[in-house]
Amino acid sequence: MTLEDALKQALSDDEKVSKFEAKVIKEIILSDNKITPQERQSLELALHNNKFDKEAYELLSELLVRTDLNTVNK
């Protein structure tokens, strides 16, 4: 399953991503230990459009910050 597929599925029921759904999305992103530019763009767009409950937003925005820091530190 791709990140885009997971986002579509999570948003299909109530148009908002829950903490549980965010954990699944996080696992998809971390499964290959990298976030591609396309994955980043999809996730940033969804986060920007406020499609996440508060806990899900915090979990995934923290993941984006962590991946930014890891990129900077390499």
Closest CA to 61 of 13, 1, 11, 50: 50
Domain-wise residue ranges, the chain: 3-73
pLDDT at 74 over 70: no
pTM confidence score? 0.79
The residue among 67 and 29 whose pLDDT is bigger is 29
Contacts 24+ apart (CB under 8 A), 31-35: 34/67, 35/63, 35/64, 35/67
Q: Using the Cα atoms of residue 46, residue 68, residue 26 and residue 53 in order, give the sign of their dihedral.
A: negative
Amino acid 55: pLDDT = 95
What confidence category does residue 59 fall into, taking pLDDT thresholds of 50, 70 and 90?
very high
